[in-house]
Amino acid sequence: MILANEWLEAEINPKGAELKHLRSKTHNHEYLWHADSRYWAKTSPVLFPIVGALKGGTYQYGGNTYQLPRHGFARDEVFEVQQLSGAEAVFTLRDTDETHNRYPFAFRLALRYQLDGRALRCTYEVHNPDDVPLLFSIGGHPAFATPAGAGGLSYTDYYLEFPEDEALHCHALEDNLISPEIRTITLKNHRLPLRYDLFYGDALVLKTLKSSEISLRNHVNDRAVRFRFAGFPYFGIWAAKGADFVCLEPWCGIADAVGHNQRLEDKEGIQRLDGGITWTRSWEVHVE
């Protein structure tokens, strides 16, 4: 499914309602990772109804035990194309008998993509059609290309800019779970230089980020991405080992802590949505 305006062209796959391409029409530049399966075969999956991993791969709710894979199941489901126009598309996923085996809630999840000038906005809309509260987490996982070898660039020419932060306080992951250990990375001029080994220990998990906008830039040319994500209390930064991309991940939810009791209602960051209510959050990509 293709969206286009004067400046941008975006392609979305109904499987996972996943953004696959974001190209500049003025200089033919691709801003997204090209999904090389040798490293990581996705580009921008939606994380729902959980973010991260569950302790033991299971959770408890209503006296029953359920299993969910890391980041949930929505990224592997085929969404219904609800709306498609020149610069806007809406993809919808609803609960089924099969999802109830893993997640005992009624829900309607919509991903709305909109082009606006040189920006793409992705809005998550979660609706509870039931009378009982809906418990969920949700997050984004877009991977932005950092093409080494193009125009003389190397991975270390790229950096992330955090306008409101002078240091990053990163929670360590232990078997994909949040450990009590915190590592502090001091930023110089609000910048985090990218290096492959930065992610050898998995994602940088942030709970106290002050910035609600992060820029991906480089020292060689003017190509840049400004990523805005107001309203997401958690954030992850990740890349596959040795791959030329960086994921900027806004989360409403987080992986289980090492000592979590596995009860869904006690999960950190869980969202509680009453019946008949629709919950929304958006992130935006502004390209230069």
66-121, pLDDT tens digit by residue?
A: 999 999 999 999 999 999 999 999 999 999 999 999 999 999 999 999 999 999 99
The structure tokens 């596995």 sit at 262
> Taking 70 as the threshold, does the pLDDT of residue 43 lie above it?
yes
Instruction: Compute how many other C-beta atoms are within 10 angstroms of the C-beta atom of residue 80.
Output: 12
Is the bond leading into 49 cis (omega within 30 degrees of zero)? yes
Answer whether 123's CB lies under 8 Å from 114's CB. yes
Question: What is the reported pLDDT for 222?
Answer: 87
Q: Which CATH class is domain 2-287?
A: mainly beta
Count of alpha carbons within 13 angstroms of residue 2, beta-carbon side: 5
Domain boundaries, the chain: 2-287
Q: Could you tell me which residues are beta bridge partners of residue 213?
A: 228
Q: How far, in whole angstroms, is CA 48 from its chain's centroid?
A: 10
pTM: 0.96
> Under a CB-based contact definition with an 8 Å cutoff, are residues 224 and 259 in contact?
no
Alpha-carbon span 176 to 54, nearest angstrom: 8
Which amino acid type is present at position 183?
Answer: R
Is a pLDDT exceeding 80 seen at residue 13? yes
